[in-house]
Structure 1
Amino acid sequence: MIIVKTKEEIELMRQSALIVSKTLGMLAKEIKEGVTTNYLDTIAEEFIRDHGALPGFKGLYDCPSTLLCSVNEAVVHGLPTDVPLKNGDIVSVDCGALMNGFYGDHAYTFEIGNVEDATKKLIKTTKESLYVGIEQLRVGNRVGDVGYAIQQYCEAQGYGVVRELVGHGIGRKMHEDPEMPNYGRRGRGKKFVEGMVVAIEPMINMGTHKVKQLKDGWTIVTQDGKPSVHFEHDVAIVDGKPEILSTFAYVHEALGISSDEEDRFRQNALII
């Protein structure tokens, strides 16, 4: 069942999402060669708690960590480790927070040092596909419209679109209806209505779309060992149109990136 949110609830969800956004921005300054994902996990939990929220992942489904850090061929759900990040690695950092009774949940893929051009292109395409999908989150459209848009955009570049893992509704629970696949057919699936809030999260592989789970019971990796990229935003339907509740602005500021990609999905200017 889809749980529609009031505008007041959406504003509370924006605050939850922004805690995650600020956490990712803080981490962006720390993610570099030689740093371990366990270290990132420790400082992320401290940051979230210091800002009046609770880690959204820790304890959920018995998750042992605040962050899920997926390196190189890891698609999602990578558990933090003591293995230092290396020059040329990429790492998807997925983070959640619980505040005011609502969850925030989004992710960013970071580059470590000198990343291969082919991997940079995968990162760029996956990030672009996120906004291609968000554009379809409008009253009257359907779940399949979002998935179709993402799938077509990425497969046109020769990439594999993961099937086994999908985005989701979000609210007082981390995972609510509807499921939001990154593939599909136009005009199919549940219809979007005012007040829906979803997490859209393309997971795109350099090679095959097929994945497998490691023995840790969490980490999902590509079957062919090629890199995978993951980006995620929390998005509400407000006045019939998509409005992003999370933001990469804090990450961009930390990394010195100039971007206007989110501007068309905001009714008001974001104050950093």
Structure 2
Amino acid sequence: MVDLHGSGEQAAYRPRRSVLYMPASNQRALEKAKSLPVDGLILDLEDAVAPDAKQQARENACAAARSGDYGRREVTIRINGSGTQWHDDDLRAACAAGPDAVVVPKVESADEVRRLVAAMEAAGAPAHTALWAMVETPRAMLHCEEIAGASDRLTVLVMGTNDLAKELRVEHVPGRQPLLTGLGLCLLAARATGKTILDGVYNDVRDAEGFADECRQGRQLGFDGKTLVHPGQVEACNEVFAPSAEAVEAARGLLDAWEAGAGAGVVVHDGRMVEALHVDIAQRVLAVHEAIARVASDS
């Protein structure tokens, strides 16, 4: 098994290239999600749902999570944040429904992670229901390693870039220069603790070129995938966060050269020295490619 996160753990790769927010109050949207080529869904009870629709959204999301109708897609429920009037009921209901994960907004400390995990256990969450923590405030940026390492039940960090920009009082600009420090701190925390990390959303659903640019930036920075706000963003996101055909071919060639040169002391491929770290990178490329191919064959 290939080390896929760079922290030494050996784990099977689960594609999370595209993870789409869906308002759980919208039954038509939940139905449409069953046919989308998306890796994951966040059935939202928070920002996308008006206060008078919260209860119905909770019932819809829990029914969807229990239904088994979403195939290989990872189904999660984003509950309302700690301290809100809906949080406790959301958490209990989500745990009873047993989604792949419960997504909690504005997590800011390791203590909060531990409280959430204890509450999930008290609510009878099944073992397969993970915790995904949204990190979207300056405090979360500064304490992200502590947050990520607080519990094994926490498996994914989700960047909340809209809220982070608001808290920092910065502008959304191409290249996201004002956000790069926070993004980098969270990426470091994810890699240090072996967690998956998802990039934040791109707001302008009409700007396909800008969206593709931000996907490429996220991949280059090291994100595992991206959260999305519109079904029209899914296919472009999947393409960017999958290894290209050229990258797969190059990885195979490097591994062939490494195997052929075993015991030679020095291996050269395409004019470059090959070391064990390059082998690890190539193995990861192929592991991700093969996992995505399996997902495609199951769709």
Question: If the length of structure 1 is used for normalisation, what is the TM-score?
Answer: 0.29
The structure whose Rg is larger is 2
Considering fraction of residues, name the structure with more helix.
2
Considering fraction of residues, name the structure with more strand.
1
